[in-house]
Chains A and B, each alone.
Chain A
């Protein structure tokens, strides 16, 4: 499966999810794992597009590629927007998650849901190239 490279706008989200679904199918991931991987990549891609590019006044492309071995599938989301390491994001607290919706702050859930759902997540930023790396273990 060849890498997919698209202009970094919200219109890229649908094709990126389709790419992830196809890769998950090739890796034989179960339905729940496939959904969690798709959700994680959608959330981080959304942040890259909205915060890394649009809010920063930048435009460019977003690229997704995948590889797998016997143990796991690895998807890499690359961009050249403003760098952001999602691992630095502070998860909502237990108390935050129990607040009634009318008292909630709007936001803060995307990265939380994304990183909870995958088996591995890594981030590198070098020479203007940002890489969000997601991995899922393949079923035995």
Chain B
């Protein structure tokens, strides 16, 4: 079961991902990104603490997010579980997104 929800607060897209993000669920995640992108956020923050599994289809949506929002819009991934972090690092995503344990509004 996967769930992605998003809202824009003060120009920041805040997206929460929960459950298992596989190829069956990646369309839902992509829809959330597209809805957020319509409002041209200046920054994207994704809360990942409750995301238990992420396949490469999830990585592809992150690539889509960066390409859709634009290179100038920073993406922050907050509280990734260790195996998810491992996939992100093996794929070299840590060069392009900010991986943080916790989020602070600054």
Contacts and interface: CB of A to CB of B under 8 A. Distances in A.
A59 interface: no
Contacts of B63: 101, 104, 106
| Chain B facing A: main interface SS | helix
Interface string A85-117: 000000000001111111010110110110010
A11 B24 CA distance: 7
Nearest to A32: B83
Given A10-B24, A50-B23, A113 B53 contact: no
Q: How extensive is the interface on chain A, given as a class?
A: 20 to 34
A61 interface: no
Interface of B: 1, 20, 22-24, 53, 55-57, 59-60, 62-64, 66-67, 70-71, 82-83, 86-87, 90-93, 95-97
A74 interface: no
Contact of A110 (B55, B64, B66): B55
Contact of A100 (B20, B23, B57, B96): B96
Interface string A38-49: 110011001001
Given A101-B66, A101-B67, A109-B91, A39 B60 contact: no
A43 B56 contact: yes
Contacts of B91: 97, 109, 112-113
Interface of A: 10-11, 13-14, 17, 31-32, 35-36, 38-39, 42-43, 46, 49-50, 96-102, 104, 106-107, 109-110, 112-113, 116
Given A100-B96, A102-B71, A107 B53 contact: no
A17 B59 contact: no
B55 A43 contact: yes
Contacts of A97: 90-92
14 contacts: A14-B22, A35-B53, A38-B53, A39-B83, A46-B23, A100-B96, A101-B66, A101-B97, A102-B67, A102-B96, A106-B60, A110-B57, A112-B91, A113-B91
